[in-house]
Amino acid sequence: MSIESNVRRILKELPPGVLLEAAAKGRSLEEVRGAIRAGVGIIGENYVQEAEPLVSAIGHTVKWHFIGHLQKNKVPQAVRIFDLVESVDSQELARTVDHHCARYEREMAVLVEINSGREKQKSGVMPEKAEELIRILATLRYIKVKGLMTLGPHFEDPELLRPYFAATRALWEELRSLSLERVELEYLSMGMTDSYRVAIEEGANLVRIGTGIFGPRDK
């Protein structure tokens, strides 16, 4: 299956209102261009240095989302190239992003990453700490909270992820009902190649798909 036919097939399958993001770690410029030709409008990148040449070549005809672990020393480059950071999980990181955005007087859209599995070694804020974090982010001049993101624990069977997706959706709804000022919880980013169908059933409106578009990594 070609990249373009994979994208078309997935786009046809997605219900209205669900956005497709191509998770492009380790993929070449030509592969990413193929996904865009077939209709992908959002590219997810895990590494700033890998994204830089792609953003230079392709430009902002598509949206660039950062979906990896953002190291503080990479924030200066990140704020220049990304449209949205999906993995904000601490006020320290958000304050660093805010500080660097101030230099360009540009806002950065962010999603708050939720550690829905409450796994010690995993990134993301604990679900019960999300409200407190979002209230702090809302005070930062150049940060615009746009939603939640979660990975969930790793399972072979995507059905096992369902309760984690459901809990993150419930948290998203609960936070939305607070109508916090300067906070627009528009996006709920959940689901990857093996789990996006379950994630959509549980309310995801942004799915991050790598393998299902580009084929297996480590070819």
Ligand X SMILES: *Cc1c(COP(=O)(O)O)cnc(C)c1O
Three-class DSSP labels, 106-168: CCEEEEEEECCCCCCCCCCECHHHHHHHHHHHCCCCCEEEEEEEECCCCCCCHHHHHHHHHHH
Q: What are phi and psi of 19, to 5 degrees?
A: -95, 145
Residue 139 interacts with ligand X (CB under 6 A): yes or no: no
Q: Does 48 bind ligand X (CB under 6 A)?
A: no
Give the footprint of ligand X on residues 56-115 (CB under 6 A): 67
Q: Is 36 in the site for ligand X (CB under 6 A)?
A: no
Number of residues that bind ligand X (CB under 6 A): 12
Relative to beta strand 42-45, strand 19-23 is parallel
Kindly tell me which residue out of 3, 7, 10, 23 binds ligand X, with binding defined by CB under 6 A. 23
Q: Is 193 a residue that touches ligand X (CB under 6 A)? A: yes
Instruction: Determine contact, residues 81/52, Cβ cutoff 8 Å.
Output: yes
- Minimum CB–partner distance for residue 106 and ligand X (Å): 24
Task: Verify binding: residue 211, ligand X, rule CB under 6 A.
Answer: yes
Q: Near ligand X by CB under 6 A, which window of 11-19, 72-80, 127-135, 207-215?
A: 207-215
Binding residues for ligand X, rule: CB under 6 A, are 23, 25, 46, 67, 151, 192-193, 208-212
